[in-house]
Amino acid sequence: MKQSRRAKRMQLHHARKNDRIASLNMISLMDIFTILVFFLLVNATSAEVLPSPKNVILPQSISEQAPIKTLVIAVNDEFISLQGSDIIAVKDVMQSDSKTIKPLFDTLKKLSLENTEISDNRAVTIMADKQIPYALLKKIMLTCAGAEFTNLSFAVNQKAGAGES
């Protein structure tokens, strides 16, 4: 049987359509995935990370409250530091009979006068080594309270709770 021109044209069209191989533009896909990876890396950490001095070993806690951005007082066996700058040596504080630490008090007062955000918040995070004596910690807390920084927090390492695995 003889085919019409239209039938031949349709058969040829279907033959060409089935011979084609679908392809993807890999460069566009790689660009999209690269952007996605960078976006996920930047936004992966939702918790506030405190700067951790190398010689401060924090105690363990099962606290689930995320830290907020505040002034950080770091205490190790040698120095008391505020926002990364050394304020006074620990041995000088321990030898003193005073209940407060004058250099720390003066620095806190100065910072609260200079920065309105700090003076409004009045919050301090104490990042103390787990081996420091309680008497030193008490002097630091009394100094902060005297400088009207009454919202005190302690930095700890989070560990799994008793009910978690």
The per-residue DSSP string of 85-140 comes to: EEEEEHHHHHH---SS-HHHHHHHHHHHHH-HHHHHH-EEEEEE-TTS-HHHHHHH
Do 82 and 141 reside in the same domain of the chain? Answer: yes
Count: domains in the chain? 2
pLDDT of residue 165: 44
Do 37 and 86 reside in the same domain of the chain? Answer: no
Do 138 and 79 reside in the same domain of the chain? Answer: yes
Q: What is the pLDDT along the chain (165 residues), one digit of tens a residue?
A: 688 888 888 888 887 766 666 677 778 888 888 998 988 888 776 555 566 666 666 666 666 666 667 788 888 888 888 888 888 888 888 888 888 888 888 888 888 888 766 656 788 888 887 788 888 888 888 988 888 888 888 877 777 654 454
pTM of this prediction? 0.59
Range of 37's domain? 5-43
pLDDT of residue 100: 84
Do 84 and 150 reside in the same domain of the chain? Answer: yes
Report the candidate in 140, 161, 164 with the shortest Cα–Cα distance to residue 60: 161
Do 67 and 143 reside in the same domain of the chain? Answer: yes
